[in-house]
Each structure stands twice: as structure tokens, then as C-alpha cells.
Amino acid sequence: MTDDLDPDLDLVLVRELAAPRAVIWRCWTEPEHLKQWFVPKPHRVTACHLDVRVGGACNTTFDVEGAVMENKGVYLEVVPGEKLVFTDTYTEGWKPAAEPFMTAIVTFEDLGGGRTRYTAVARHRNAETARQHRDMGFHDGWGTVATQLEAYAQGMGA
């Protein structure tokens, strides 16, 4: 996946997480788990609807300092245990979104010994949007979330 990255459009975070791939996958695909780690604390996910299949809904609602932020999208690719691709370019039923922001490509590689290489790519439609996301704190925010994901997954056990 890293050979088709565009430095003008793609923001990338790679982490080695001390948790098994199967547990990390559950954290990403089961709403009750995703709600626990998906936004940097003290912000929180207040609603989550995941229909983890191509064309299925990938909807989350955040509370960020009292502001409600709805994120509606669909899954474009699902490879169980290995890869999720979702976008806000479309919503459920393949309805075009008014103002799409990005497509996320998240992969999970089993490194053995209960460790997972976690790669998250935020792909943007133009360089301006990518720059805006970087300036919003993509690496710090998604890095914080990866740390929260790891801690939560460790608490789940295998």
C-alpha cells in the first residue's frame, strides 16, 4: 500500500501496537469497542453505527467540547482482519456527500507475539484538504487515538 502514496494528498500514520490483530480488528468493527477509543479524550463518540461490508454504513457522532460532529460514510473495501477502507464521499445507499473530506485506508498486519503493525492513511481529494487536515493535527490526533486503541485492546485480552 505504501508504494501508491501521494505526498500531496495522503497523510500516513504507522504504529506497532502491542495487541493481537484479531483484537484490534474487533476494536475497529464493533461499535461498543470503537466508541471507547476512536477520538482523542476528553472528546467522545456518542453514537456509532457500523455495517462492516462494502456499501455498509460507517457512521459516528462525536462530542467535541460540546459541539456535535456527525460523520457519515460507507465502507469501500473490507478484508476481514486485514483491511478497512471507508469514505465520507458517499453515505449509505451510495448517496454523494455534500462536502466530502477524506477516504481512510486502515491495515492490520500480524507481527506475531501479540503485536500488530497498524497503518492508517487519510487520502484527500486535493492538496488543500490534505494540508488542512495536517494543520488540524492529523499526526497528533491520530497518534493519540492509536495509543488509546492499543491501551483499550490490551484491556480486552485475546
Domain range annotation of the chain: 9-156
Task: Write down the pLDDT at residue 157.
Answer: 65
At 86 the pLDDT is 98
pLDDT tens track, the chain, 158 positions: 456 889 999 999 999 999 999 999 999 999 999 999 999 999 999 999 999 999 999 999 999 999 999 999 999 999 999 999 999 999 999 999 988 999 999 999 999 999 999 999 999 999 999 999 999 899 999 999 999 999 999 999 65
Q: pLDDT tens for residues 107-129? A: 999 999 999 999 999 999 999 99
pLDDT at site 2:
53
9-156: CATH topology is Alpha-D-Glucose-1,6-Bisphosphate; Chain A, domain 4 (3.30.530)
Per the CB < 8 A criterion, the answer to whether 75 and 85 are in contact is yes
Please give the Cα distance from 74 to 72 (Å, whole number): 7
Check: pTM over 0.85? Answer yes or no: yes
